[in-house]
Amino acid sequence: MLFIRSIIFTTFFFLSVCIAALLITVFFFLPFNMRFAIARAWGYSMLWAGRIIVGMRWSFEGLEHIPRGPCVIMIKHSSAFEVYAQLVMFPPQTWVVKHELLWIPFFGWGLSRMQPVAIDRGTGHHAVKQVVTKGIDRLKSGIWITIFPEGTRMPPGMTRRYGISGALLASEAGVQIVPVAQNAGDYWPRRGWIKRPGLVRFCVGPAINTAGRDPREINEEVQTWVEAKMREISTGYQKRARHSAGA
């Protein structure tokens, strides 16, 4: 039964994202906030579908930490859940993404209309410069920037060094960083079809000031908070800690 429910949910996911992306593409002439409203409506529909179809409940914690002005969001990436949940949680935003994502039919068409910061990660320092230059432009226009600092989805209990581009962008733009930890990967495995019922905790940390600070120091503070919170809320981290302790 769980397998069948997961197939239904996955089908809903792909169909709904195509419809939302197509609407955003067709109505490209609308102001950004109105195009974002379409994306946000899709986010709500996905939260509803996840709860009804596979029993994936959610809690949004730490909303009081979200500042008023535009910020850089640095969020743990483990599944597609956080991609749509953040649409509901945060003000109008765009994302730092791999340029190849814009080539995907329907999804890429809609994404390209949301003013993403699309980069070629193979260009190294040039990619970081693109994030800073384009990101500052978006922030000045009132659009928040979301970055997945590990650059890819990470299995529960795993991490790697956070990329510097988010901290550098926030420092150069003089804006705060909002760190986010979430345990969706415990219920929606990376590259897995089965979605398990449970409570996804989406936790926003206190905003981190960046003015006059070394981006490496900022980056370390972000990673320290996010990974500490992950150890608290993720069963994947807890299982890995128990295994290490018993070794």
Give the pair of three-digit tokens for residue 152. 């890819």
Per residue of the chain (247 residues), what is the pLDDT tens digit?
Answer: 889 999 999 999 999 999 999 999 999 999 999 999 999 999 999 999 999 999 999 999 999 999 999 999 999 999 999 999 999 999 999 999 999 999 999 999 999 999 999 988 767 678 889 999 999 999 999 999 999 999 888 988 899 999 999 999 999 999 999 999 999 999 998 777 889 999 999 999 999 999 989 999 999 999 999 999 999 999 877 776 666 666 5
Query: According to the CATH classification, is domain 2-246 in 3.40.1130?
Result: yes
* pLDDT value of position 52: 97
Provide the strand spans (E) within the chain.
56-61, 72-75, 93-98, 117-119, 144-147, 177-182, 198-204
Nearest to 167 by CA among 120, 203, 210, 228: 210
Which letter, b or e, does each residue of 168-200 get, where b requires 16 or more Cβ atoms within 10 Å of its Cβ? bbbbbbebbbbbbbbbbbbbbbeeeeebeebeb
- φ/ψ region of 62 (left if φ > 0, alpha if ψ in -120 to 50, else beta) reads left
CA atoms within 13 A on the CB side of 222: 37
Burial environment of residue 213 by CB neighbours within 10 A (0 to 12, 13 to 18, 19 or more): middle
Predicted local confidence at residue 243, as pLDDT: 65
Amino acid identity of residue 92, one-letter, is P
CA–CA separation, 153 vs 225, rounded Å? Answer: 18
Q: What is the pLDDT of residue 189?
A: 85
Q: Which phi and psi (to 5°) does residue 144 adopt?
A: -70, 155
- Separation between Cα atoms, residue 123 and residue 33, nearest integer Å: 31
Q: Residue 77: left if φ>0, alpha if ψ -120 to 50, beta else—which one?
A: beta
pLDDT given at position 241: 64
